[in-house]
Amino acid sequence: MKRFSSLIFKLATGVVVLWLLGQFVSDRWLWSQWLFWIPTFAILVFLLCTTIVLVFLKDKRNSIVLGFVFILFVGWFLFVENRVFSTTTKHGDLRILGWTMSHSKSRLTADSAALIVELNADISLLTHGWKVRGEPVIKEWQGKKGKRLVNGPFTLFTTLRPLEVRTLVASNGIYISLYKLDTTEQIGHELVIFAVDLPADWRLSRREIVRRAKKLLRQADAPEPDLVIGDFNMTKNSNSLHRFFPNMKDGWDKAGAGWSYTYHRAFPLFQIDHMLLNKDLHPAMYELIDPQIGRHNIQLLELDSEDLVNDI
């Protein structure tokens, strides 16, 4: 019995060490990205189960040790990876929505369109929103002043004046489009948005994807973005994500409240959708909306104007 409880304890310790190793080395290499992607929630469940087993085996010392480690992981899960007890009532001057619509457009088009109208963002960026953009309710919502800007797999709805729309990258599953909008009235300057959709295949090296994407961006003579929105298929604190846009911060880190995970919507374990902001943008709030549709949660960001920030 002692040998079995010792084996259980060593197994639990080994799993925790692998998770810690993944967090430390991140997705710098193909082998390490598998460790980096181990969900914290899975570690919580595993630790709880092994602790209960050790209690039943009457291994007091090891069960106390694992119980303490479990409590540490609970704290990390609730207060570091997420901010489950925090809420926000703040509102900004510019409301921005981002939604990766990797779900059946035929069956759920009307529901998807109704939700977009209900959220009523100044800028709504959809990835794979092909059929939704033709819904009558969308056309009615936009009215005569509304713009529907389509580029690659992206559709952007806005009433703001577009200054530039172009494809930056469309190669081997890497899609990046540029949207430049006149937001001077709202936030005091123009807004350069990169819409991003990167490969989802977990067998591909994230570092290699970023290397190729950065090379293609240089060839496109792309300007520096103010805001990057999309499905990166890279989690928060990813080394590859940091290398991609080293001078930008995640909107959730700066102004997020509640849960941070965006995928899978039905039982989210990963934050793979991001809104990255440069230092000149001032987020008032960032939150995730469960659309009850599809696989990704909706990202919602509100920005403060420069005048308001300067007054503060």
What is the per-residue pLDDT across 169-181, written as a single tens digit (0 to 9) for each? 999 999 999 999 9
- Which residue has tokens 């989690």? 235
What is the per-residue pLDDT across 206-251, written as a single tens digit (0 to 9) for each? 999 999 999 999 999 999 999 999 999 999 899 999 999 999 999 9
Query: pTM surpassing 0.85?
Result: yes
Q: Mind listing the domains of the chain with CATH numbers?
A: 2-81 (no CATH), 94-311 (3.60.10.10)
Structure token digits, residue 126? 């959809």
Strand partners, 227: 193, 277
pLDDT of the residue at 150:
97
What is the per-residue pLDDT across 16-27, written as a single tens digit (0 to 9) for each? 999 999 999 999
Q: Which residues contact 274 (CB under 8 A, 6 or more apart)?
A: 228, 229, 230, 232, 234, 236, 241, 250, 251, 252, 299
Residue 242 CA to residue 262 CA, distance in Å, equals 18
Structure token digits, residue 123? 């800028």
What is the per-residue pLDDT across 95-154, written as a single tens digit (0 to 9) for each? 999 999 986 667 788 999 999 999 999 999 999 988 898 899 999 999 988 999 999 999
Cα distances (angstroms) measured from residue 172 to each of 1, 154, 240: 54, 16, 18
Strand partners, 126: 99, 155
